[in-house]
A and B are shown apart, each in its own frame.
Chain A
Amino acid sequence: DGGITQSPKYLFRKEGQNVTLSCEQNLNHDAMYWYRQDPGQGLRLIYYSQIVNDFQKGDIAEGYSVSREKKESFPLTVTSAQKNPTAFYLCASRSSGTGPNEQYFGPGTRLTVT
């Protein structure tokens, strides 16, 4: 998990509340990603950013929002519009050098909404 921090590790919220998950990296990576992990479904891409002040929707962006104001930070907001927000959320980053470089993952945040 080195170089990428996510906080908090566990997060509990009431239905109808927005919540923001933090992701910070000190790897000097240009690209950052947010994934959602549900049991038996693997990882699904929510949003990604290849450069500061720019981001794109992934496969399941509805009900989520992001910002990328600094290279090191890529916070994810889970809005009240997300119908099933309870999940394990993983942030990742990748160097944008030449070649298909691997992504490095943070330790994850487990969000429970009741």
Chain B
Amino acid sequence: AQSVAQPEDQVNVAEGNPLTVKCTYSVSGNPYLFWYVQYPNRGLQFLLKYITGDNLVKGSYGFEAEFNKSQTSFHLKKPSALVSDSALYFCAVRGRKATTGSYQLTFGKGTKLSVIP
């Protein structure tokens, strides 16, 4: 079965500083990885995904993520944080469910990012 770990419940960063939100995964077969962001009382918004190819994936709002196969990680990054980036971030991996053979997303528990002015 696939799994996702986001080891930090909360990350605090000063505005203008680089930010990193960590994610590690476990899945059989090729890893398909996603990052989503959630603002309070809202649905999730897609940021970026890794399917294949370049290990550095660029996404929405200046975010990027680095895929590292040997470390089974997919950390989210941004060179310069904004106060408006404060939100809840979810990492997810697509894997095949053993019982049905169908694919589904497995989400991490989320990391709350606070950008301090």
Contacts and interface: CB of A to CB of B under 8 A. Distances in A.
Interface of A: 1, 4, 6, 40-43, 45, 48, 50, 56, 58, 88, 90, 92, 99-100, 102-108, 110
Contact of A100 (B32, B41, B100, B108): B32
- 9 nearest A-B pairs in the assembled complex, by CB-CB distance: A105-B43, A100-B32, A42-B109, A105-B44, A42-B107, A43-B107, A102-B46, A107-B43, A1-B43
Given A100-B32, A100-B94, A105-B44, A40 B109 contact: yes
A1 B42 contact: yes
The B interface, classified by DSSP as helix, strand, loop or mixed, is strand
A102 B34 contact: yes
Contacts of A107: 42-43
A56 B46 CA distance: 24
A40 to B, nearest CB: 6
Nearest to B112: A40
Given A40-B109, A42-B90, A103-B105, 20 more contacts: A1-B42, A1-B45, A4-B43, A40-B110, A42-B107, A42-B109, A43-B90, A45-B105, A48-B104, A50-B102, A58-B104, A92-B43, A100-B51, A100-B103, A102-B46, A103-B46, A105-B36, A105-B45, A108-B42, A110-B41
Interface of B: 9, 32, 34, 36, 41-46, 49, 51, 90, 94, 100, 102-105, 107-110
Contacts of A105: 36, 43-45
B110 to A, nearest CB: 6
B102 to A, nearest CB: 7
Given A1-B43, A102-B34, A102-B49, A41 B105 contact: no
A103 B105 CA distance: 9
Contacts of B34: 102
Nearest to A10: B41
19 contacts: A1-B43, A4-B43, A6-B43, A42-B107, A42-B109, A43-B44, A43-B107, A45-B105, A56-B100, A90-B43, A92-B43, A92-B44, A100-B51, A105-B43, A106-B43, A107-B42, A108-B42, A108-B43, A110-B41
